[in-house]
A and B are shown apart, each in its own frame.
Chain A
């Protein structure tokens, strides 16, 4: 309101005066039906999930379009706390309460991208092309730099020239598979956010 300019106000007030006068004369603009907004969750699908931010791990209920019928594509449109969850009992913090805007963030990545050496932009790349290329680069590096034995003759079977940081917001299953795969390669430079 503070930002309304005087000119705008005059415009508004002018309309208001006209409107008020009409009302005074009995020309009500519409029949004044007072109704609350429709309750928007009535038949939405409800899915139980866990907030991906801090380690309180609040239970959340996600409401999505459609009833999971074959021809409906689900899209989450509202998230609120799970009242059955013993820890958060339905509450959410400002991050959890805003999860819907994380899911639908304009910054969500949708397709693989590639940045060539020296380039200042992304270019599209197919999944197969990207994964083939990464696998090839990894194999080249591992074969060139794998240490099977130290100069002293100790068996060490380690690969130090490629490393990884894993996501501590990913699930146990992702973490477990990542650990299994990376250790099979012999990677030691391996950490997750717990370090920070």
Chain B
């Protein structure tokens, strides 16, 4: 067999290697640390783009696979590979990592440790998206979750960071333990003595088994996806987290939950998914409307974005719960679209907070004149959020509503009310934060964003518009992944 460059492993381990390098640097050489961080992020991003471009959509299926034994006695292997569903998420992680480093450039409190821990998280995230082995997936999943505690508790907002870090960690660990039990059940229940997901896809679990174990597995992971009613850790976590961490948290970490719920829950237990999809759909539609309503009344900018994430992740879950092609495609696109959009939102919110030292919308105003670039970015994000045609949000939401309508028109009607509510809170926010005259208290202390911020804003905004105008760059890719899911569902 000819040698194949292990590109996925390289992507996964770049962040952690960079982290180790940074820890070897003296703490006071902050700029060098930042440069290493940026270099690693750029490299990871370029490699993800490479994977994205060279993935052969005509062949579809899992590609760039690497298989090594890890603990053969237990059937644990190091098996990675990507398909149309996970590649966009790998790219998303690369984008968020890159922009996250850019906008954290000014962070002055122990940047070495900050970036090192953040990159540990990034490795975990990349790892989950490429894992094709259940044990490996779970392993990376925990690596992704654990650093959040440190990042929030150390660098977070002093007032609530301990509470939020604790709440987040507890929710996520409880969720993952429940999922772990399910994973072990699958391991023993399959009789195949393997954690390899591709083999488990063909395991043909009995209907009884699937009906019992689908919910624990799905919900256990979906907690991280912010599924209602287990969403409450998420907004609190966003608010307490420093900007780059919020971006990771909402941008990719929540996708992790939805992705794992899809990969492990729906794909390995398809009959269970069909049995319980109604319940998931109800949870999801509640989250969509409920999150939007709460976001509507929030005065705290970050809480607003946090609850809007709950609402938008609800759309992802809604798409997943349809189990049809339109819904699943929409969910896949929405994961990407929401990832970049919400990263942008948190980035801008962070820029505003760093300058105004308040996140209360009622105390803000006049930012449009001072930081027009940030405003344009925020408005573009807003249009994505509202599902305006021409932006990526529409490309994602339209198929979701289509898929939901096929299952239940009433749910679709309820879910679309969120479009109106979303428009209400986004526009209100834009009006007050950017267009209203600058309050006296803030005069003189606000400055425009720096060049690096602009690069970050430009990157994500351009992505959202490009995807909105030319859905062809992403949607067919996601569809190849969806076809595989449908095959599993149909074969059930």
Please indicate whether A and B come from the same complex rather than being unrelated chains.
no
* Residues on A facing B (Cβ under 8 Å): none
